[in-house]
Structure 1
């Protein structure tokens, strides 16, 4: 068991370095990469299959708190965050993040991977269809933004992601410049992750089969491994986001989502 845990920790160090790069580059918290990776890694470390998906979602959200926070800090330095947008979406994001963790606890375990994959594939399709479109739609009212934030929060928490994969297309659709959309998504993702993580921790407190070194459904060896490197590499992703053309960013984002969604849906 100890050998498997140490091996998982080492793999999570590598995973975290990749997650941090994507977090800074695309405004995502890394859940789109962390969840499928942990679904594969956790059983190899001796985690019971009935717990794997919930622990992958919870640990992913916990890692996003720091990864998205580090990414947001780097985007703040580059002036890529519109605080008025984040403030309008925040109430819905918090409530949605908590709600998503509650829903995930009620959904049968075998359905969660398919739900995750379906969400990701739809996001990839949306981004591919919008790549040739430009939008000058104004940002909606604060109430509408809060409602949108609630939907984003529920879906993101249910899929164990920080919401950047939803927030970026949403803001881009409303005419927000891509770099600012990515910056706002980083900060919003940290908020979603805190709410979702808290929900999963409390949901898992009564689970008797949890392995040692767990807090609720959050598995600490995986969490520490991921964030140890992700918080460092976010700066390089944020630097790339400030240099690459908007269309290039959208292409990277869409291809990334399509690949991950397909792999998860096919098992």
Structure 2
């Protein structure tokens, strides 16, 4: 058991991360996993969690936190009738199927590979946020099936492998096809629900019986970290959603992009540092 001062820091860090993640969930339509995964990865180090399961545990726990965060954010956006419900209904199967595929991959993948995937995708997302002013338009309407279903599957797959809610990927997809950015953000909160709910089940299954998991873990989900983080995300998500409808987010997008690059660099460094 870590010293009491380290436990206090652990609680404070997770509470702060939860507030930031919840605010970003509402503001950008993301689940906050980009914030939570690296914080959880470092936090579990204090509890002597083996490197072989630490990345998996950070991703699975992040997905568990995203469940209420996404629900709260989606509820706030839905009250404004902002999400594209037709798109969400069409993705009720493809997105969870992508998440299920990610769970199978995670079950047989090392922590190093998962960190590599996270670092690569985080760097790509960060560069996109920093250098892309607007998404390049490729059409004025969303593609039809099977292309639309395939996009949903890929968003579910990549997002679950990162422990994120899919907001950045879905925002890019929708705005590329002429959808207003505020509608894309609102819809992304619903995509987060489609990713996080099956993601929790999948990562519990993937980590069932794994060795070295800290106390209060079920598979690759640590419920102590979930309990410490969720209250702050629930409080902050509606505030982010409210501000999203009237705020110029360019500077915040830049800040999030820089953060993603830093996280990608940190995870890349950990691959070589051991």
Pairing 1:122–2:124 present: yes
**Structure 1 residue 113: Cα displacement:** 1.2
Instruction: Choose from 80, 83, 97 the match for 2:99.
Output: 97
Does the 8 A contact of 2:135 with 2:175 survive in 1?
A: no
Displacement of 1:250 in angstroms is 4.9
Superposed displacement of residue 48, structure 1: 2.3
* Pairing 1:190–2:183 present: no
Alpha carbons of structure 1 residues 133 and 230: separation in structure 2 relative to 1, 3 Å: closer
Distance 2:105 2:7 in 1: 29
Give the SS at the match of 1:266: helix
Tell me if structure 2 keeps the 8 A contact 1:89–1:147.
Answer: no
Q: How does 1:1-267 map to 2 (within 5 A)?
A: 1=1, 3=4, 7-132=9-134, 135=137, 136-245=139-248, 247=250, 250-251=253-254, 253-267=256-270
- Tell whether the 8 Å contact from 1:23 to 1:29 is kept in structure 2 after alignment: yes
Distance 1:132 1:201, change over 3 A: closer
Cα distance in structure 1, aligned partners of 2:196 and 2:140: 28
1:160 Cα offset (Å): 1.0
What CA RMSD, in Å, does the superposition of the two structures yield over aligned residues? 2.0
- Unaligned 5+ residue runs, structure 2? none
Write the distance in 1 (CA, Å) between the matches of 2:51 and 2:130.
Answer: 34
CA distance in 2, matches of 1:224, 1:49: 23
SS of the counterpart of 1:36?
helix
CA distance in 2, matches of 1:11, 1:253: 18
Contact 1:23 1:67 in 2 (8 A): yes
Q: TM-score of the superposition, structure 1-length normalised? A: 0.92
**Greater alpha carbon shift after TM alignment, 137-146 vs 152-161:** 137-146
Between the aligned partners of 1:229 and 1:214, the Cα distance in structure 2 is 21
Distance 2:8 2:174 in 1: 40
Please list the CA deviations of residues 194-233 of structure 1 after superposition, one character each: whole Å capped at 9, or x if unmatched. 1111111011112143222111110011111111110110
Contact preservation (8 Å) 1:124, 1:258:
yes
Deviates more, 1:22-31 or 1:250-259: 250-259
